[in-house]
Amino acid sequence: MNIRLAEGKDCKQLIKLRWDSTIEFDEKNEIEEALYDDFEKECQAFLENALTSDQWFIWVAEENGKIVSNIYIKLIQKVPRPGRVTYPFAYMTNVFTTREFRNKGIGSTLLSRIKEWTRVNKYEFIIVWPSDDSINYYKKNGYIHCTEPMEYCPS
């Protein structure tokens, strides 16, 4: 298993993984296969931007050239505060492992690599909004519930 940061050559596979992860949890079957072309163009543009920025980091696990798991990290810059050095924090999203590679420790290995990367780079913390089904996965990997964030959803 090769754990690494994604590169431009990975776009097609990353697009397919994003599509598959969404379709898997589309219980109402609201997403039509016909929409793939439009999604592919939008996601390709996003990935091209993300992979050349210094704010997005897409971690992948690959087996024999096939990406089987991914985690997207977006750095969030904080406003500097007097009297201390300000480091960004990491927002983690789009955590997905293909069905046939689940429960083999791949996701936990990716999380371990990311935790070490955040420690080395002095990022302040990692934040993730887990689905109900993934809460125990994060807990077993050292994540804890926090109570500080609030949100506002405009109508």
- In sequence order, which ranges of 3-143 are alpha helices (DSSP H)? 11-24, 36-52, 106-120, 135-140
For the stretch 41-82, pLDDT in tens is 999 999 999 999 999 999 999 999 999 999 999 999 999 999
Specify the number of domains making up the chain. Answer: 1
Q: Say which amino acid occupies 72.
A: Y
Residue 86 lies in a domain: yes
Higher pLDDT among residues 2 and 151, named by residue:
2
Q: Is residue 149 part of a domain?
A: no
Task: Indicate the angle between helix axes 36-52 and 11-24, nearest 10 degrees.
Answer: 130
Mean pLDDT of 23-33: 76
Q: Could you tell me the maximum CA-CA distance found in the chain, to the nearest angstrom?
A: 55
User: Is residue 46 in some structural domain?
Assistant: yes
What is the domain extent for residue 129?
2-140
pLDDT band of residue 34 (cuts 50, 70, 90) is low
Mean pLDDT of 90-110: 94
d(CA 139, CA 133): 12
Q: What is the structure's pLDDT at 63? A: 94
Structure confidence by residue, pLDDT tens digits, 107-145: 999 999 999 999 999 999 999 998 888 889 999 999 998
* Residue 6 CB neighbours (<10 A): 22
- Report if residue 148 sits inside a domain: no
- What pLDDT was estimated at residue 6? 98
CATH of residue 48: 3.40.630.30
